[in-house]
Structure 1
């Protein structure tokens, strides 16, 4: 019985090691991105297998399990190390909320905006009906300036702000999620805000998902190096995806900068508990003061927000 248990444990360690290694497999032609999104869960499994190997007193198995578990452990420690700046008198608060094809509760969104004193908001999957409900709930009084437009289905993306906005891009392309860009004229200085919403990495769209993340990285590289930049939205990707890590390169993930560790924004309100951060605020040439998430009723995404020091 002990031999059989050891063999099963060895197989489990090998499979888990493969799942850990998949974090570095950059491919648009497989279901690997879905596996990569569960990397934190894989890390927990690796730790459990190490504990089991120690209990069974299997030296070789314990060494193998330790090698597998050390990778997510090191990455977890790094994610818990903060790198923030002190708050200023006029910090910006950027929030992103995926409305799940307009189904989010408008009052819940407005309440989160008030509680976090949001100055700029990226709304993803904004339908005309959702825009009407948000207007009735008072969002336009809090954030009167807007770039982008509601659309049917999941295509609509809107930037709203307390500050005047200059439209840099707002074109709508049918059957492609909108990703408007605006210059935000904040009190402490202007910054460029790009709303982000690539396709999800489902089998039929994974190649387009991979390409669109590459386009985001290319767009970032094309921006003037001295211009403060924020990319905020539902990236449909996490730090476990190589394509997303290329987008983050030369930028700072606000939640990671706070040492928040395992941040989870999806899925919310489902039988499956949230296990991955798809919603991000990435910044360049701005300091991160704080970041967090807010549960929003009626949508499967938590809202992500970041408090930023401008100037």
Structure 2
């Protein structure tokens, strides 16, 4: 009795249409691509509301540049190992999406051609440790109409006021000298604005202070400071940013200036300021870093802002250095319609 004919197909297992090596390459590429997206694009799915993504996303401009360099290096690798190509392709896709979200802040909107100027200065004085003489000198040089000073309570105000009163400025703080400076905001205004009135707003952990009247008319100017999105305060940070909407969406003119501890890369910030224009972004200076001061301006995030609504537009925006604080001062000239 003869043996049955041998059929190779029945003895050899079917070959996978996706070889193991190819699966490994694509698996590596997907892991790297998803890792890059988690760092650069968490706001697209709302992860930036939580720690640590709230911190990482603030550095999206810097990380996008780093990823672009990595993509170039990965492309060079493919000249020697062509099978490596899925890695640079997926990383390049993430970099392109991130770049499309970052680069518009370098494009200036048309400059305002009319309206009354209002010059605004804001500086977080780092728990009242900034050099008051240097801040007074900056106010003397820039001659702003109104100034927002986060992390400045009655103690720091008492240092600053005698230095700028001879320049024609008045001040008010949201907390007394008995409270730590970090909990307060101070507003200073030029006598050019006349009879300005102030009131404390207690809707945020660091009490804001609002200035109205006099030369401001019906405009509300708010010296603002949000808590930082640390693990134990990220919920309060979300709450603080949420309060900004009341000014940006209001039917009356408003300018909100100070330290928001958030950049344009945070989805919560973008939502909160819907209805407002950001002086940095609208003048093409939206990538000037305001924190920390030890990093070059191109490296740090812009977490200090001057916002305005109701057709109030920015003519200029810049940053200035003041000793003793980890924030840069921001200065903008706005045009009131």
- Bin the TM-score by the shorter chain: 0.7 to 0.9
TM-score, length of structure 1 as denominator length: 0.86
Matched, 1:33 2:19: no
Unaligned runs of 5+ in 2: 1-21, 79-83
Cα distance per residue 1:81-137 (max 9 Å; x no partner): 10142466952111111111111011211222222221100111114332232134x
Larger radius of gyration: 2
Note the 1:121-132 alignment, pairs <5 A: 121-132=147-158
1:191 to partner: Cα distance: 1.9
Unaligned runs of 5+ in 1: none
Note the 1:26-175 alignment, pairs <5 A: 26-27=46-47, 28-57=49-78, 58-86=84-112, 91-136=117-162, 138-151=163-176, 152-153=179-180, 154-162=182-190, 163-164=193-194, 166-167=196-197, 169-170=199-200
Matched, 1:208 2:236: yes
Answer whether contact 1:267 1:301 (CA < 8 A) is retained. Answer: yes
Answer whether contact 2:157 2:186 (CA < 8 A) is retained. Answer: no
Matched, 1:276 2:301: yes
Partner of 1:170: helix, strand, or coil?
Answer: strand
Measure, in 1, the Cα distance between the counterparts of 2:29 and 2:129.
Answer: 44
2:18: which partner in 1?
A: none
Q: Flag the 1:71–1:48 CA change in 2: closer, same or farther, 3 A.
A: same
Measure, in 2, the Cα distance between the counterparts of 1:164 and 1:248.
Answer: 29
1:6 to partner: Cα distance: 10
Note the 1:225-240 alignment, pairs <5 A: 225=251, 227-240=252-265
Cα distance per residue 1:128-171 (max 9 Å; x no partner): 332232134x2123353334345432111111111135436315
1:263: which partner in 2?
A: 288
Higher relative contact order (CA 8 A, sep 6+): 1
Measure, in 2, the Cα distance between the counterparts of 1:184 and 1:9.
Answer: 59
Answer whether contact 2:259 2:305 (CA < 8 A) is retained. Answer: yes
Note the 1:237-248 alignment, pairs <5 A: 237-248=262-273
Answer whether contact 2:153 2:186 (CA < 8 A) is retained. Answer: no
Measure, in 2, the Cα distance between the counterparts of 1:16 and 1:156.
Answer: 38
1:279 to partner: Cα distance: 0.7
1:302 to partner: Cα distance: 0.5
Q: Flag the 1:91–1:269 CA change in 2: closer, same or farther, 3 A.
A: same
Matched, 1:183 2:212: yes
Note the 1:291-310 alignment, pairs <5 A: 291-310=317-336
Measure, in 1, the Cα distance between the counterparts of 2:27 and 2:94.
Answer: 17
2:5: which partner in 1?
A: none
The partner residue of 1:20 within 29, 35, 40 is: 40
Answer whether contact 1:125 1:157 (CA < 8 A) is retained. Answer: yes
Backbone CA RMSD of aligned residues: 2.9
The partner residue of 1:251 within 276, 286, 292 is: 276
Answer whether contact 2:172 2:198 (CA < 8 A) is retained. Answer: no
The partner residue of 2:225 within 197, 200, 203 is: 197
